[in-house]
């Protein structure tokens, strides 16, 4: 079984959102082509889904500003603007994303005391979302990952997929992803490559 994981293609990470990823909305038409390609047996989307006052928000740390490094539950934590608050438009998947063919929408980041970049488990690698068991239960052997942001949630999702499901071939669809900083994207791609994740383009998939 071949699966596609669409990471956090939400209003909050697109221009006009609360934590906009530069050109984040450009992944939407590419994701739609992948969704409609018929190349995937299973399509999963993750959704960053924070309660108000989440510990990753700078606003929860008096005197601190977004994009400063702080701490959360004793561990280093990038402090973010308030974003993707449960039930708000910011947290909704992008309105142009073709969601009718998505088999599972998985929400993450609900625990105030820990951030959850990965769609598989929280950042302290403690609580699992159940996605690895779900994919393995569906006999997934190939997983393609794309979305927002390459240097955070996409990277950690791909790394966890490869670590937690050793039998699954994991690939990053680079042009169907956008990141927060150019340097972060370059480092993330090197980290993924070093861990055996293939970097591919949507064209390779659609023409293959």
Interface residues with Zn ion (CB under 5 A)? 48
Choose the contact partner of 49 out of Zn ion, ligand VGL, none; CB within 5 to 8 A by kind: none
Concerning whether 146 is annotated as a catalytic residue, the answer is no
With CA atoms as reference, report the closest residue to 147 among 178, 116, 183. Answer: 178
Is 45 one of the binding residues for ligand VGL (CB under 6 A)? no
Concerning whether 153 is annotated as a catalytic residue, the answer is yes
Asked if 91 contacts 48 with a C-beta cutoff of 8 angstroms, the reply is yes
Secondary structure element (H or E) that encloses residue 123, with its range: none
Q: How many chain residues interact with ligand VGL (CB under 6 A)?
A: 9
Structure tokens at 16: 């006009």
164 in helix, strand or coil?
helix
Position among 40, 49, 80, 120 found at the interface with ligand VGL (CB under 6 A): 80
Choose the contact partner of 152 out of Zn ion, ligand VGL, none; CB within 5 to 8 A by kind: ligand VGL
Nearest-5° angle of CA 176, CA 131, CA 38? 45
Residues 130-159 that bind ligand VGL (CB under 6 A): 148-149, 152-153
Kindly list the catalytic residues: 8, 108, 153
């Amino acid at each position: 079984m071949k699966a596609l994981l669409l990471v956090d293609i939400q209003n909050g990470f697109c221009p006009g959102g609360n934590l906009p990823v530069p050109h984040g909305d450009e992944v939407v038409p590419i994701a739609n082509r992948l969704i409609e390609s018929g190349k995937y047996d299973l399509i999963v989307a993750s959704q960053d889904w924070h309660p108000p006052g989440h510990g990753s928000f700078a606003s929860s740390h008096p005197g601190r500003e977004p994009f400063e490094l702080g701490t959360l539950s004793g561990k280093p934590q990038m402090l973010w603007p308030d974003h993707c608050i449960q039930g708000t438009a910011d947290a909704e998947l992008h309105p142009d994303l073709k969601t009718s063919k998505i088999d599972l929408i998985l929400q993450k980041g609900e625990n105030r005391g820990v951030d959850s970049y990965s769609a598989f488990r929280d950042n302290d690698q403690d609580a699992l979302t159940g996605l690895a068991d779900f994919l393995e239960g569906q006999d997934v052997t190939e997983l393609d990952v794309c979305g927002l942001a390459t240097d955070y949630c996409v990277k950690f999702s791909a790394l966890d997929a490869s670590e937690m499901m050793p039998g699954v071939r994991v690939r990053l669809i680079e042009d169907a992803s956008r990141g927060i900083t150019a340097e972060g994207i370059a480092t993330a791609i090197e980290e993924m490559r070093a861990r055996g994740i293939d970097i591919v383009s949507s064209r390779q998939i659609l023409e293959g």
